[in-house]
């Protein structure tokens, strides 16, 4: 495992973070945030990819020190009330769960999905609105498993989730085991999920993958099912929407937080 330190202009920070996650980063922390520049540290698992990634992004490479990530998480992650029923709290915090909310504890693992990012919150809010008791839920690009855990605690009867990152799958399994809920996790992509198997699907990934996998969302959903798709910014919405509509999906709504967006579709 290694990390890359990258300087960027504040206005390009969100785009760089999205590009780093799309390139396979397992975690990103912000070391400095000054008016003239931001300094990011991105973690990657595969040491063999150092030449490829530094050629693409530049920056300064270091052996990864996981203490950096843990210290950052403990400093910046705080309890969050999301939607009307969700309470996301770091595992080291002892605040009681507010009445009427489900508790989701997150740790400082390197998988994406602590609830702190806008796209995660947008997906959680949508899942809260759409989950019905007894449904089947699918999570593509599951990261930490936070969306799957929320769906199960909100009433889904069963869930299956996948991620192309083996480390993320391991983290997600541990998280859900600790939370006392069960889901079927596997390392892979949406292509391995059975057709017409999900009442509700979530994918918080990159805009390119949301668009490329549009036929898969249509294939996986049951008639009348819905998908919650995020991981992209406002500028990507026309491109993503066009791909979804070409695949036969019907766009129900688009919601946003800051410059990030979520699209809800049905068949």
pLDDT along the chain (267 residues), means of 10: 90 84 80 82 87 94 73 75 94 92 79 73 97 98 93 98 86 91 94 97 93 97 97 93 98 94 97
Question: Which pLDDT belongs to residue 111?
Answer: 47
Question: Which pLDDT belongs to residue 22?
Answer: 82
Among candidates 38, 39, 37, 45, which has minimal Cα distance to 60? 39
Measured CA to CA in angstroms, residue 38 lies from 16, 55, 257 at distances of: 11, 20, 21
Q: How many residues does the chain have?
A: 267
Same fold, 2-73 and 113-266: no
Domain ranges of the chain: 2-73, 113-266
Separation of alpha carbons 113 and 171, rounded Å: 11
Displacement of CA 148 from its chain's centroid (Å):
11
Question: Which pLDDT belongs to residue 6?
Answer: 94
Question: Which pLDDT belongs to residue 123?
Answer: 97
Give the global pTM: 0.79
Question: Which pLDDT belongs to residue 58?
Answer: 94
Beta bridge partners of 41: 5, 29
Domain 2-73 has CATH 3.40.1710: no
Residue 207: helix, strand or coil by DSSP?
Answer: helix
Structure tokens at 128: 């809260």
CATH number at 113-266? 3.40.50.150
Cβ partners under 8 Å of residue 160, min gap 6: 136, 137, 138, 139, 183, 184, 185, 186, 193, 197, 198
The number of CA neighbours under 13 Å toward the Cβ of 232 is 21
Q: What is the DSSP letter of 237?
A: H
Question: Which pLDDT belongs to residue 66?
Answer: 65
Question: Which pLDDT belongs to residue 90?
Answer: 85
Q: In what order do the strands lie in the sheet with 27-33?
A: 27-33, 38-44, 2-8, 60-63
Among candidates 255, 234, 185, 191, which has minimal Cα distance to 18? 234
The dihedrals phi and psi of 94, each to the nearest 5 degrees, come to -110, 10
The number of CA neighbours under 13 Å toward the Cβ of 52 is 8
Question: Which pLDDT belongs to residue 149?
Answer: 97
The dihedrals phi and psi of 252, each to the nearest 5 degrees, come to -90, -40
Residue 99: helix, strand or coil by DSSP?
Answer: coil
* Alpha helices (H) along the chain: 13-22, 50-57, 66-76, 118-130, 146-153, 166-179, 207-212, 214-220, 237-246
């Amino acid at each position: 495992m290694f990390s890359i330190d990258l300087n960027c202009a504040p206005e390009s920070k969100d785009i760089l973070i999205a590009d780093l996650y799309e390139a396979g980063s397992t975690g990103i922390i912000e070391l400095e945030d000054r008016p003239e520049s931001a300094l990011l540290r991105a973690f990657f698992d595969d040491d063999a990819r150092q030449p490829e990634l530094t050629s693409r992004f530049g920056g300064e490479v270091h052996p990864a020190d996981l203490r950096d990530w843990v210290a950052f998480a403990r400093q910046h992650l705080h309890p969050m009330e999301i939607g009307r029923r969700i309470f996301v709290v770091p595992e080291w915090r002892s605040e009681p769960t507010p009445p009427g909310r489900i508790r989701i504890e997150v740790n400082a693992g390197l998988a994406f999905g602590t609830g702190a990012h806008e796209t995660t919150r947008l997906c959680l809010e949508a899942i809260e609105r759409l989950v019905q008791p007894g449904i089947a839920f699918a999570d593509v690009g599951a990261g930490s498993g936070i969306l799957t855990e929320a769906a199960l605690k909100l009433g889904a009867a069963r869930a299956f989730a996948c991620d192309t990152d083996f480390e993320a799958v391991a983290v997600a399994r541990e998280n859900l085991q600790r939370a006392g809920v069960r889901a079927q996790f596997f390392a892979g992509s949406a292509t391995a999920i059975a057709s017409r198997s999900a009442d509700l699907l979530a994918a918080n990934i990159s805009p390119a993958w949301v668009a490329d996998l549009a036929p898969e969302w249509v294939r996986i959903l049951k008639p009348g099912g819905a998908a919650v798709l995020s991981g992209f910014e406002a500028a990507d919405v026309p491109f993503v929407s066009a791909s979804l509509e070409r695949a036969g999906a019907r766009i129900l709504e688009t919601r946003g937080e800051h410059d990030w967006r979520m699209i809800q579709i049905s068949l």
